[in-house]
Amino acid sequence: MKTRIYNILIAVGLAGLVTFSSCINDLDTIPLDKDEVTSEYVYSNPENYKKVLAKLYAGLAVSGQEGPAGMNDLSGLDEGFGQYLRAYWYAQELSSDEAVMAWNDGNLRDYQEMDWSSNNEYISNMYYRVFYQISLTNEFIRETSPEKLSDRGIDETYRTDIEMYRKEARFLRALSYWHAIDMFGNVPFVTEKDEVGSFFPEQISRAELFDYVETELLDIESQLSAPGQVEYGRADQAAVWTLLAKLYLNAEVYINQSKYTECLTYCNKILNAGYSLEPEYEHLFMADNHKSNEIIFPITQDGNYTKTYGGVTFIIKASVGGNMDPDMFGIDGGWAGARTTKQFVGKFLDLNTLKSARIPLKSVADYPVIYVPGGYQDDSGYSENEWAPETAPTLASVNSDNNYEGYIYFAEDNSQFKFTEGPNWDANWGDNNADGILEESGSNLVIPEAGMYKINVNLNNYSYTAVKTNWGLIGDATPGGWDNSTPMEFDAETKVWSVIAELGSGSFKFRANDKWDINLGDNDADGILEYEGSNMAISESGKYLITLYLGTPDYTYSIERYSSDGRNLLYSDGQTLDIDNMFEFTNGYAVGKFKNVTSDGQTGSNIEFVDTDFPLFRLADVYLMYAEAVLRGGTGGDAATALSYVNMLRERAYGDQGGNITAADLTLDFILDERGREFYWEAQRRTDLIRFGKFTGGDYLWEWKGAVKEGRSIDDKFNIFPIPASDVIANPNLTQNTGY
């Protein structure tokens, strides 16, 4: 039989709090089962102390003693749902603009509708996870006191390491107490100094708990290992500094006092500790992110040794569904759960260009025109009415010589149309014999195949042609030189051709159908294109966005140095922008940020459980905390340095300086949006929105905030979660948070 070692047998009895995996009354008894081992036996062996410490760290990463399921630390909720990081992610992300969930399990929807109560089982689970973790760390701290070590006769050769483990446990306890401050405010308070056994813990105020956490962190700060001097995944001084910086940054929320100068003090310590930005943003969220010098403190994951249906396995699998390929994410299948809101998409993209709206016809020069009404107008996005000359595309006679031309998009095969002299049917032409010759009031013309067509009409001899076109770039500045066109993509909604291409110094033209029959250049370098026109010059090598605007003459184009935010890892294929139904995965853009794939493209060690660590603290956060603390009036930093840190993040995101901002752009509103772009789905958003006054109230609305699609203002009581009703009932020392 496999021996079951209870790494920690004790959880101080928060009355009615939770049922643990072992009975607290068995702690000091001799086991009747020879396969069960007591706490005293475990701690008598100095080799076991590091193993117990590993259990404390694992409390953030897994949910129990036997892999993904089967021996949960807590009872009352599914083991996957109940894991610490998953519970924290729910609380921080589903309550914000960054995430919605397709699963209508229990009262999970209360998070995204922001109408929870003290009976919500997911909030209760988060609360119990926090205090279970605190109870584990309390017991370890209690059992590693100098007195206990002396009583057990632990040799001095082990003492230094064990004393370091004890400091790390104090950090982990402070981390969970910070979560309690942030989410619940006034909570039960227990430390290693409380006697083992069942009792009713006293409630501590948010301000008093803030002081306690601050004091603990300051006390252990100098005693932990220097940054980078312990195994990856363990806490060192930089982890303490980061937690202090975050505590101070949010002090106005927690204790109604600003501590931005203190925040800057600890940001500066981290900035001088040897960390550096990961060159590629995506690599921070891949299966080998343990190699990154940006991550300060992670929650580690291993597909073979930390199996859980929570953690990053949950984040990745919940994000994959619809048209997404699980193989691209290194997993055996997605759970089709989490997406993001339209409002968050707007942090990266212009929502006005993403709306499924009709695109107005391009304004044209003052040329004579004829109209092209037909049964294609609605499907092709020109107007809601079919066969409506007044809203139909037009052809223009640039030389006013009765020769008309234009480019029209037909969305369907066998689309029908006619030509009219004006925006009415008074004079119209069709083709009775399908021979390219027009007759007045003739038969409908037919386009056999969908696409964009160059249409020419000669009203001198009543002839017409329609040629399907696909456009590309050609020239010595292009990847294909003068021999092979670089294809452009057509946007059916905007009716625009575009391509993002690496261009060299040289020139190019636009060419249709990989032939020279139809090509466009710019004779006067005025942005207006002419057939067989002059080459357009590219003076400097780089990445460019080239856009071609056809439609009705004049034909124009644009050349822009291209920069895009590489942090935009949203997925739109098969997904709608708007979320009409929260419980339909394809409503809302998906998020492809985390992957169980290494930076060199290899799948993680296990496709069911992932290797990707969760970066709880990383250097980019310190950069933006520094900038925010400076903007909020903290001393110990300066605006120029703050701007440089922000632009370092944006240069990584854009790959160049195209996304850099100026000092005038660096505002608190910008910082909030930039934190969203940098840290989305990293369990920071709720805390950030509260600090900026955007979480409750009506200043900032997102889909389904307040349980209505458009979003609505909600009560400020939701800035803090309720203490579970069951605990308030069980413990007479507890008073419920205001409003619940």
pLDDT in tens, 203-221: 999 999 999 999 999 999 9
pLDDT exceeds 50 at position 358: no
Cβ burial of 284 (10 Å; 0-12, 13-18, 19+) is buried
For residues 51 and 7, the answer to whether their CB atoms sit within 8 Å is: yes
Q: Which of 260, 235, 162, 338 is nearest to 631 (CA)?
A: 260
Neighbours of 291 (CB within 10 A): 12
> Cα separation of 638 and 629, whole Å?
10
Tokens of 594: 């985390």
**Residues 130, 44 within the same domain:** yes
82 confidence band (pLDDT: 50, 70, 90): confident
Average of per-residue pLDDT across 552-579:
89
**Residues 207, 140 within the same domain:** yes
pLDDT exceeds 80 at position 25: no
Beta strands in 504-597 (DSSP E): 506-512, 519-521, 530-531, 536-538, 542-549, 556-561, 570-571, 590-591
pLDDT one-digit tens code per residue, 624-665: 999 999 999 999 999 999 999 999 999 999 998 889 999 999
The pLDDT value recorded for residue 342 is 96
Reduce the DSSP state of residue 121 to 3 states and report it: helix
> Cα separation of 400 and 398, whole Å?
6
- Could you tell me the sign of the dihedral formed by the alpha carbons of 593, 594, 598, 602, in that order? negative
22 confidence band (pLDDT: 50, 70, 90): very low
**Residues 24, 58 within the same domain:** yes
DSSP state, 590?
A: E
**Residues 27, 139 within the same domain:** yes
Which positions ≥6 away from 195 have C-beta within 8 Å? none
Least confident of 265-279, 347-361, 470-484: 347-361
Q: How far apart are the first and last CA of the chain?
A: 49
Domain boundary among 538, 561, 584: 561
pLDDT exceeds 50 at position 23: no
567 belongs to a structural domain: no
Domain boundary among 469, 493, 513: 469
pLDDT exceeds 60 at position 11: no
691 belongs to a structural domain: no
336 belongs to a structural domain: no
Q: Residue 487 belongs to what H/E stretch?
A: strand 486-487
CATH of the domain at 191: 1.25.40.390
**Residues 528, 380 within the same domain:** no
**Residues 438, 555 within the same domain:** no
Q: Residue 417 belongs to what H/E stretch?
A: strand 415-417
For residues 224 and 164, the answer to whether their CB atoms sit within 8 Å is: yes
719 belongs to a structural domain: yes
pLDDT exceeds 90 at position 131: yes
CATH of the domain at 545: 2.60.40.3620
pLDDT exceeds 90 at position 359: no
675 belongs to a structural domain: no
For residues 560 and 544, the answer to whether their CB atoms sit within 8 Å is: yes
Kindly report the average pLDDT of the chain as a whole number: 91
**Residues 421, 483 within the same domain:** no
Number of domains in the chain: 3
**Residues 554, 497 within the same domain:** yes
| Torsion angles phi and psi, residue 684, rounded to 5 | -125, -15
Tokens of 529: 């294109």
The pLDDT value recorded for residue 195 is 82
**Residues 464, 490 within the same domain:** no
For residues 482 and 509, the answer to whether their CB atoms sit within 8 Å is: no
Structural domain span for residue 461: 369-469
351 confidence band (pLDDT: 50, 70, 90): confident
For residues 658 and 561, the answer to whether their CB atoms sit within 8 Å is: yes
pLDDT one-digit tens code per residue, 506-562: 999 999 999 999 999 999 988 899 999 999 999 888 888 899 999 999 999 988 777
161 belongs to a structural domain: yes
For residues 218 and 230, the answer to whether their CB atoms sit within 8 Å is: no
DSSP state, 64?
A: B
475 belongs to a structural domain: yes
**Residues 417, 493 within the same domain:** no
Tokens of 357: 């709206």
**Residues 187, 146 within the same domain:** yes
> Cα separation of 599 and 450, whole Å?
41
CATH of the domain at 460: 2.60.40.10
> Cα separation of 268 and 271, whole Å?
5
> Cα separation of 537 and 676, whole Å?
39
Reduce the DSSP state of residue 600 to 3 states and report it: coil
Tokens of 43: 């701690």
* pTM strictly above 0.85: no
> Cα separation of 712 and 597, whole Å?
39
Domain boundary among 424, 454, 469: 469
pLDDT exceeds 90 at position 67: no
Which region, left, alpha or beta, applies to residue 286 given φ > 0 means left and ψ of -120 to 50 means alpha? beta
pLDDT one-digit tens code per residue, 364-408: 568 999 999 999 999 999 999 999 999 999 999 999 999 999 999
**Residues 543, 408 within the same domain:** no
737 belongs to a structural domain: yes
